[in-house]
Structure formats: structure tokens, C-alpha cells
Amino acid sequence: ALRKGSELERAFATAALVYRDAADARGRLRRGDARRLLHTQFLRFVQGQENKPKYQEIISTLDEESESKMDFEDFMILLVSVALMSDLLREIRDAKTTK
């Protein structure tokens, strides 16, 4: 349905599909599974973040509450939070401004 959609629309649809495939029948995702998705589906944004206090705080919350569940909105907030602190995002921004 989104073959002709914009890059942003396709990216968002992909995130929604990844979430849907990992979520339970009620559309909720265990925090431990969210952590796993970060490391399998969002790896390039996660790499190199291990020593950052904010990243450690996010991951420790996922670990401590690994059985509790999150909804899609919380999952997207998690992705955006990790992306905003990532070195990859900074590299992407820097590459764009140097052109």
C-alpha cells in the first residue's frame, strides 16, 4: 500500500510492522523484547551508546521491567529517544550540513 509513499511514510510503516510482528495479540510489547529489537533492528543507532548515562538509564529500565509491557506509542518514544542521542544521528546531520 505504501510502495508509492514517501521515504518517511515507508520508514514509519516499517517501524509499525516491526512492532506489530513482535507484539502480543493485544498489541503490547514486553520491555525485554523492546530491548532485543533495539539490538537487532536499530543496531547502528545503538552502537557506541553503552557509556552514555541516558542510554544506560533507558536500558536499565527495559532490563528491570523486562516483563512489563509497552504500547506502540511508548515504543516509538523509545526509538526516538535512542536515535536522538546516537552518534549515528549526529553523523547524518553533519554529513548533510557539509554538502
Cα separation, 51 vs 75, in Å, equals 22
- pLDDT average, residue stretch 5-11: 91
* Res. 98: pLDDT tops 60: no
Burial of 53 (0-12, 13-18, 19+ CB in 10 A): exposed
Q: Which of 51-60, 70-79, 84-93 has the lowest mean pLDDT?
A: 84-93
Q: Is residue 52 within 8 Å of 85, Cβ to Cβ? A: yes
The CA–CA distances, whole Å, from 18 to 23, 36, 49, 54, 67 equal 9, 12, 22, 24, 19
Q: Please name each of the domains of the chain with its CATH number.
A: 7-98 (1.10.238)
- Residue-wise pLDDT for 14-71, tens only, equals 999 999 999 999 999 999 999 999 999 999 999 988 899 999 999 999 999 989 999 9
